[in-house]
Amino acid sequence: MTVNGERLIIPDPLLKPNQKTIQFSFKHLDTTHNKFLPQDCTLDFWRALAHRLKGYSQLPLEVFLDQNNPDRRHVIDFGETTEPNGFASLDTEQLAFEEAWQFDLGTFTPWRIAGLLVDEMFYIVWLDHSHRLYI
The DSSP annotation for the chain comes to: -EETTEEP-PPPPSS-TT--B-EEE-TT--S--TTS-GGGS-HHHHHHHHHHHHHHTTSBHHHHT-SSSTT--EE--GGGSS-TT-STT---GGGTTSPEEEEES-TTS--EEEEEEETTEEEEEEEETT-TT--
Could you tell me the residue range of the domain that residue 106 belongs to?
Answer: 19-128
5 in any annotated domain: no
| CATH number reported for the structural domain that contains residue 61 in this entry | 3.30.2310
Lowest mean pLDDT among 8-17, 72-81, 93-102: 8-17
- The answer to whether residue 83 scores a pLDDT higher than 70 is yes
133 in any annotated domain: no
Number of structural domains the chain divides into = 1
121 in any annotated domain: yes
Per residue in 96-111, pLDDT (tens digit) is: 678 899 999 987 889 9
134 in any annotated domain: no
